[in-house]
Amino acid sequence: MKKLLLAAGLAAFTSLSWAQGDAKRGEALYQVYCTQCHGVSGDGKGVNAAYMAVMPRDHTDTKEMTARTDEELFKVVKLGGKSINKSVLMPAWGRNLSDDDIHALVAHLRNMCCKK
């Protein structure tokens, strides 16, 4: 019974978190703010990647991306890589993007990694 409730709760949480942000708007924001490092397709092979000491995250890697919560993804976009003990090369976008924009980006990231 507990496993069934947990599974139902996780399914509801996942649907809710994706619904929190507008994935279409997130896709447009991704093209402006993220593709230089993470690549147009999100594979981590953007034009800046060759010059970076730490390779950008592959947002199409389902295993890696599902290991991250929406809260972690939100935090890393807003506060930068250092905020979750990841690369300091990931900038903090919180002064450029609103919380709604960041939620939209997270929704788009979930679409990239998990809705194949």
Q: What is the CATH number of the domain that holds 21?
A: 1.10.760.10
44 backbone φψ class: left, alpha, beta (φ>0; ψ -120 to 50): left
Domain with 93, as residue range(s), is 2-114
Work out the pLDDT band at 8, boundaries 50, 70, 90.
Answer: very low
Helix ranges, the chain (H): 2-20, 23-33, 35-38, 62-66, 70-79, 99-114
Q: Are 84 and 72 in contact (CB under 8 A)?
A: yes
pLDDT at 19 over 70: no
- The pTM of the full predicted model, rounded to 2 decimals, is 0.80
The Cα 61–Cα 87 span in angstroms is 18
Number of domains within the chain:
1
d(CA 44, CA 21): 22
pLDDT of residue 68: 94
**Residue 90 one-letter amino acid:** M
Distance between CA atoms of residues 103 and 25, nearest Å: 10
Region for residue 39 given its phi and psi (left: phi exceeds 0; alpha: psi -120 to 50; beta: otherwise): left
What is the arithmetic mean of pLDDT over 37-46? 97
